[in-house]
Amino acid sequence: MPAGMWCVIPIKDLINAKTRLSPALTSEERRNLFQAMAEDVLAAAAAATKLDGILVLTNDPDATKLAKRYGARVEGEPANVGQSEAVSRAAQVLKKEGAEGVLTLPADVPLVTSAEIDLVVARHPKTRPAMSIGPDYARRGSNCLVLTPCDLIPLHFGHVSFEPHLAEAAAAGVDPNIFDDLLGIAIDVDTPEDLVHALEAGRESKAINYARSAGIAARLAPLQS
């Protein structure tokens, strides 16, 4: 039975991933980049010492194989639902099975490290209930959310979810622990500009290496500062 803190990572189908990158990347490049990003996140979560397990939600066979390679538990979905619905379902399952809390990460934060994940768990308030949240670098989205208990608030993942999640914390009477000093969590990749931001951050990862070796980084050079 699950206990402690579980990492929940939704991974949608790889074939149709990252359509907002279409102006700069081919469909094959988008698929390969997203798979590399998902592997970066899985590798970081698997190497973290303060997690008690990883739960990946996906209906994609290749994503399933990738997740199991990193020791993750995989759950399918009744339908290809959105991130909020997927994470909410996972939270309910884990809570019912005895998990103390969930730490959610998207599959598109290729610079995240195991040390950052461990730091998030270590910083999470010991009082209960509690919520920790890490916004994206634009402070619009929620790139990491830690909830104890697992189903503390309704979820609003999307392009603008940071403020809605803060509002839900207030409604629940919880003072959220906000962190925005962890580079690998703050940078998610949805657009060509995001990818440039990740390339300029100075970190190595499978996704960054792929973007360079495939010529994508050179193609995006005009967007770089």
Q: Whole-angstrom distance between the N-terminal and C-terminal Cα of the chain?
A: 49
| Integer angstrom CA distances of residue 83 from 66, 79, 118 | 19, 12, 23
CATH number of 5-223: 3.90.550.10
Task: Using alpha carbons, select from 179, 171, 107, 100 the residue that is nearest to residue 145.
Answer: 179
Q: What's the CA gap between 74 and 196, in Å, rounded?
A: 31
pLDDT at 50: 97
What pLDDT score was predicted for residue 2? 73
Quick check: bond before 149 cis, omega within 30?
Answer: yes
pLDDT digits (tens, 9 = 90+) for 110-166: 999 999 999 999 999 999 999 999 999 999 999 999 999 999 999 999 889 999 999
Q: Please identify which residue in the block is written with the tokens 């990252």.
A: 18
Q: Which residues of the chain have pLDDT under 50?
A: none
Residue 16 has what pLDDT? 82
> Could you tell me the pTM of the whole model?
0.96
- Residue 80 pLDDT: 64
Domain boundaries, the chain: 5-223
What does the alpha-carbon distance between residue 86 and residue 15 come to, in Å, rounded to a whole number? 19
Q: What is the pLDDT of residue 225?
A: 62
- How far is it, in rounded angstroms, from Cα 125 to Cα 35? 33
**Predicted pLDDT of residue 83:** 86
Token couple for 95: 């809570």
Residue 192: the pLDDT is 96
